[in-house]
Amino acid sequence: MSRIDNAKGAACWLCHGAWLLALVAPLAMAQDVTTAALQRQSRDDAWWTGPMLANSAETLPPGHILVEPYVYDAMSHKVDAFGSRAYVLYGVTDDFTVGFIPIIGYNRVSGGPNSSGIRLGDQILQAQYRLIRYHEGSWVPTVSLMLQQALPTGRYDRLGSRPANGMGRGAYATTLGVNAQSYFWMPNGRILRMRLNVSGTVAGHADVDGVSVYGTGPSFRGRAHPGNNFYVDTSLEYSLTTRWVLAMDLLYSHNDSTHVTGIDDSLDPATLPLPVRVDSGSSDTVGFAPAVEYSWTPNIGVLLGVRVLAGGHNTRRSVTPAIAINYVH
């Protein structure tokens, strides 16, 4: 079997686990309501790492830190995009958390040159302010505003004969999002935690010279305008035991068209520069990410999951197995 088939197999295994939970849970729920109430799980008895994709709406207490490095392999047709991103967050006040997300990557290409080494991607700064805090017994969830700023630190043009060295977009990008999180107690007393993330991203422009991540050739000179993005992700986490959790993300993403304009100057004095204008067209993506969480203590745990982008309009399918360590201090 290919590595993609193996990853799909892992995704199916996790999906089957989620379906098994759906079949078994009603059996566990079929008990006396009074007994279930007496066995109601406390939130202190449920340890979480968080799902694979959805961000928390909570903020860290002042002086506390969260570190969560991910290692993954985004596998699509003829490309393995190995990468790592780590969430490094710090609590400034009860309601305000800041941090950054360092990203590195390495591309392996079938039938072409790989990346020349591990390289930086576009790095991200993040701030989150909590507007509402969840209180047990209330229907009102925790709600926060999140602001992210992507810095164009990853290489994106002048790639020469190694397009796989492209790890960034060359443009600043600002993301504003709303994160929500709440808890529900199932009839069997176990906790179901739900998150909802809604965000929009607006990008600036990138000056492009030569071969680039935008598909331009060696003699191109011009500018690229990455399309804006709208993103929705909802997740469910079911606390099987104090340490074990089953999680599932469902996502939708829409990207506006990316516009590339400029000239193609072939360096041949007998040839006039040719104007270039390319529009990628808009794209839509749907996907899901089943995962299993295990925590040794309330402060440290591991997540194993698979993100599956099932494709969509103008979108390539991909399978991304990942592992992450979540540590809070």
Length of the chain: 329
Is pLDDT at 183 greater than 90 in this prediction? yes
User: Residue 26 — pLDDT band, cuts 50, 70, 90?
Assistant: very low
Q: Where are the domains of the chain?
A: 3-328
User: Residue 7 to residues 13, 196, 218, 320: CA-CA distances in angstroms?
Assistant: 10, 26, 35, 7
Report the percent of the chain where pLDDT is more than 70: 87
Is 213 in contact with 168 (CB distance < 8 Å)? yes
- Distance (Å, whole) CA 200 – CA 177: 6
Mean pLDDT of 257-279: 85
Residue type, 301: G
Sequence-distant (6+) residues with CB within 8 A of 93 are 59, 62
Residue range 302-320, pLDDT digits in tens: 999 999 999 778 888 999 9
Let me know if 290 is exposed, middle or buried by CB neighbors in 10 A (0-12, 13-18, 19+): buried
User: Average pLDDT over the chain, rounded to whole?
Assistant: 89
Query: pTM for the whole thing?
Result: 0.85
Is pLDDT at 12 greater than 60 in this prediction? no
Residue range 112-122, pLDDT digits in tens: 999 999 999 99
Whose tokens are 């998150």? That residue is 195
**Domain 3-328: CATH superfamily, name plus number:** monomeric porin ompg (2.40.160.40)
Pairs from 79-82 (Cβ < 8 Å, separation ≥ 24): 79/107, 79/108, 79/109, 79/110, 80/3, 80/107, 80/108, 81/105, 81/106, 81/107, 82/106, 82/107, 82/108
- Distance (Å, whole) CA 260 – CA 272: 19
What 3 state SS string does 182-205 have?
Answer: EEEECCCCCEEEEEEEEEEEEECC
Is 155 in contact with 204 (CB distance < 8 Å)? no
Residue range 42-97, pLDDT digits in tens: 999 999 999 999 999 999 999 999 999 999 999 998 999 999 999 999 999 999 99
Look at residue 268 in the predicted model and tell me its pLDDT: 67
Kindly give the pairing relationship between strand 191-203 and strand 142-151.
unpaired
